Structure 1
């Protein structure tokens, strides 16, 4: 009999308890149904192509009973023990990645598949990893017209129920032009220019006269309708030129220049158009012109105290008809010209009734649009002038009939060259057989060339047949040619150069005058309402008859206020 110590007894009891526990566990496992399915880690193990559903895994069968140490060789072995190994939870690294694309374990992947239109990979160089090109930018709709704008009140925006929609303003290409105000459906623009300067020969007399300071006040008013159909435009312009004191011995009895050189002028017309249909329009015009004879004119009497005023009033009515590209228009005219009686330096007066006359006439024009921007035309005019007195102060009968025929074209090429040019022939016959027939070449037109966005060139030519009071002279055939260049150094600073040349042919006399003028202007625009102007001008007249030539220099500074 061996007596064990306390430690040995405890060790023996522990080993006995372990053996009893193992026997109980084997008994429970043996009592389990052999056909029952065992839950093994294979249910959660991933396949190379991803996870496998539990229903797709093969069923594993466990042994019917726990085999003992002498188990048969063909029996299924027990699962290996995990004691001392790193635990595995059944989800290895990169188990959720697909079989293509990036792999954190740097394993070989399949080539990616691209849908139609997808960007292809680009390689920077040999051995470098593939770089996927970024997808094309998505088209984004442009912002609305009201984006980044301060919202307007409904009353200002014209969206109040019952209120008429707000009128959309027209595009104004002149950033310093007058804005104007609306009066109902009419746009009203007004302006006034005040300027002063010095004139070296205000009377335009031969040999020169005493220079004088002067001032000019020139108001303007333009009213334009804003209608969908029809049109009505009123353009009114006037001026008054006042000179300093002039002594009678400087101008008066020795020349045709009056003692008082002040003179007003006004030129206004109102044009209307009535749209009967798309191709038919009725035209009308009312006009008035207040003027005086030009300084230095041979029609002025000697010893005048001031310039006699002349008034021309007239009206026109006609139609304008389109036949596809063919356009036909006809206008009838009626004008009357009257002269104020002359006031002499001695206080006496002299009537000018023999210079008053009425003119009746008409104009017909036919044009055809060959192509957009090119429209040739032909024009015919005929008129008759009837004076209040059959015989003038020189004993001549001044009544006459005449007209002109001309052909030309209006054009517009790429909006850089626009205008109208024509050439023709004019003739006028007088009642008095002593007055020879007035004939001559007729040129008229206007041309505007927008050379650059800042430079514009203009060319204007005109021919007119003017009345004369000189004995034996039928009339005066006046031709003028003007060239003008406007250049904007800045939008608010404009320089204008202007050159004029012309001739006056006194039919029935050997007199032939050539006149001209060259001027430079500078306009400084402070804003839309205020402008400063400066002008330097030289005028001259050369006559083949002695005692009629003159020259003058003019300098002027002014201010323009407009709205």
Structure 2
């Protein structure tokens, strides 16, 4: 058969063969509704083709259905507007730290460990990632365009560059950003870390003029220079501690001073160059939370002070003495009660004196070894007030039984004092104590040396730019004067620091004290007024100027002195 009927049958057979493919497309939901085509859907009047009106398509932009809608189009409404995107901040890319592992920490310092959930506990919902569509808008007469809302008020965001979410701290789950600590000393040395130690170093190079470097009755001036290195290392450990503080200087003078014609004791050496070094290394071993083993190793290198009666006549240069010692003890805490005890050992050795005639004089009679012990009991009344009681005893044994004048200098003595340490709102901090010191000598011709002991170290922060300090010390020193037991030395210092700018600091200092030569009748008073100006160019480079005036007032005629020191230098630190 041929004709129109044959053509129609061929087209019907082709459509029947395509029915399975059309059914799969309809199930996927991309072109047609979820229904199966049947031969009844063919329209013979239109040449056997299926009309688009006969296959209604599903709109993917709207999934809301209304079962009560009698239109039969499954509740779809063509007049429903899409959600407004005005005022919405678009999100691009992937969330921060999305590629991190399930353990450890991610780039936002968040832990990646999965939380442990109790039985029946709801699992936390993950935060929506970028590209997540907004919740659907309900259809119907009540649906309307959402109001325009900005995430940031215009008054805060106007003329401001937007920050990345990671910098602004708005990333979901990111911990709050820590506020940076205010630097109390913006021009102070930063230091370097070497392993578990913070190391700071510095050196000061200065030059100036001293109107009386030998501190003689008849002044004679000289230019001088000073090289003063410093080294500080502090451990940064969770337990235990170790601190090394080393400071030294060398003062050199450009002139030489010939010996005086009368050869008086107060005459200065011909060469006034002298070193000075003070260093200590402190350690603490934390056995338990309340038990600590403490130790200290100390070293002192210096000379007799210019103008001291211990200086021999006809010296070519000052003899150098070295004191090496240590303290080893234990600290034990019983709640608020703290008990500390330790033993001390010190060894002092003098070099031989070089005289102007080329000969040398021995100072072995000045060498001695000191052994002693110290104990301290303190109780913390409040976190800001901690009174204490301290006692010390020692014995000094000289290398030679008799000194150059035939006196036996071996002795024993100590001190006892009481005081308190305090800290009031960090405005007034420090420690102050008072007591009594005494020393008895083997030689019966030497009287007991005794006197009031005052020790303090106070810091008062008057304003953020002004700081006042007060500190005092008391010591019992050896002497070579015949018939004199020793020297009881009291020293008091008041200091005020003021920052005119953070980079410009002025320092005023006043020191006074007394030297009591018990057994000789000599009594000296000394005073010193000093003004410093420091210009801090950078953290590593400072410029420092010093002007100082020293006085020594003695009750013995011919021993009073005065001197003015002017100095300018730089400080290099790291």
Q: Is the TM-score greater than 0.5? A: yes
The unaligned stretches of length 5 or more in structure 1 are 1-52, 56-136, 150-167
1:214 to 224, 235, 240: 224
Counterpart position of 1:233: 243
Q: Deviations over 1:310-354 (max 9, x none)?
A: 000001100111100000001110000000000000000000000
Q: Note the alpha carbon deviations across 1:30-69, whole angstroms, 9 max, x for none.
A: xxxxxxxxxxxxxxxxxxxxxxx999xxxxxxxxxxxxxx
The correspondence for 2:210, drawn from 179, 182, 199, is 199
Map 1:505-524 onto structure 2 (within 5 A): 505-524=516-535
Distance 1:339 1:176, change over 3 A: same
Judge conservation of contact 1:436–1:508 (CA < 8 Å) in 2: yes
Q: Tell me the distance in 1 between the aligned counterparts of 2:283 and 2:327.
A: 10
Q: 2:469 aligns with which of 445, 455, 458?
A: 458
Other-structure match for 1:395: 406
CA contact (8 A) 2:212 2:564 kept: yes
Among 259, 268, 272, the residue aligned to 2:270: 259
How far is the alpha carbon of 1:372 from its aligned partner? 1.4
1:60-71 matched pairs, under 5 angstroms: none
> Cα gap change, 1:144/1:397 in structure 2, threshold over 3 Å: closer, same or farther?
farther
Match status 1:476 vs 2:476? no
- Other-structure match for 1:544: 555
Tell which structure's C-alpha radius of gyration is larger.
1
SS of residue paired to 1:395: coil
Correspondence 1:147 to 2:175: no
1:390-438 per-residue CA deviation (whole Å, 9 max, x = no partner) reads 1000100000000001000000000000010000011100000000001
Structure 1 CA distance, aligned partners of 2:288 and 2:566?
A: 52
Which residue of 1 is the match for residue 441 of structure 2?
430
Instruction: Please state how far the C-alpha of 1:247 moved relative to its aligned partner.
Output: 3.7
Partner of 1:183: 194
C-alpha separation in 1, matches of 2:164 and 2:296? 45
Contact 1:251 1:259 in 2 (8 A): no
Q: Report deviation, 1:290.
A: 0.5
> Does the Cα contact within 8 Å between 1:252 and 1:258 map onto a contact in 2?
no
> Is the Cα–Cα contact under 8 Å of residues 259 and 269 in structure 2 kept in the other structure?
no
The superposition leaves residues 77-120 of structure 1 with CA deviations (integer Å, 9 ceiling, x where unpaired) of xxxxxxxxxxxxxxxxxxxxxxxxxxxxxxxxxxxxxxxxxxxx
Offset, 1:252:
9.5
8 Å CA contact 2:260–2:267 kept in 1: the answer is no
2: distance between equivalents of 1:145 and 1:233? 43
CA contact (8 A) 2:250 2:275 kept: yes
SS of residue matched to 1:432: coil
Which residue of the partner structure matches residue 158 of structure 1? none
Shift of 1:146: 5.8
Equivalent residues of 1:339, 1:356 under 8 A apart: yes
Change (3 A) 1:148 1:192: farther
Name the stretch that deviates more: 534-543 or 253-262. 253-262
Question: Does structure 1 retain, via aligned residues, the 8 Å contact 2:259–2:267?
Answer: no
Q: Does residue 276 of the first structure (1) align with residue 296 of the second (2)?
A: no
**Do the aligned residues in 2 keep the contact of 1:312 with 1:335 (CA within 8 Å)?**
yes
Decide which of 438, 460, 476 is 1:449's aligned counterpart: 460
Give runs of aligned pairs for residues 1-150 of structure 1, distance below 5 A: 147=167
- The question of whether the paired residues in 2 share the 8 Å contact of 1:203 and 1:251 is answered with no
Whether 2:467 is the aligned partner of 1:420: answer no
> Paired residue for 2:34?
none
Q: Secondary structure of the residue that 1:147 maps to in structure 2?
A: helix
Which residue number in structure 2 is paired with residue 248 of structure 1? 258
In the alignment, the residues of structure 2 paired with residue 557 and residue 54 of structure 1 have an alpha-carbon distance, to the nearest angstrom, of 97
Q: Which blocks of at least 5 consecutive residues in structure 2 are unaligned?
A: 1-67, 71-151, 157-162, 170-178
**Cα offset, 1:248, TM superposition:** 1.1
TM-score by length of 2: 0.69
CA contact (8 A) 1:241 1:263 kept: yes
C-alpha separation between the residues in 1 aligned to 2:463 and 2:309? 43
Question: Using the alignment, how far apart are the partners of 2:549 and 2:480 within structure 1?
Answer: 28
Q: Secondary structure at the match of 2:167?
A: coil
In the comparison of the two structures, how many residue pairs are matched?
409
* Structure 2 SS opposite 1:354: helix
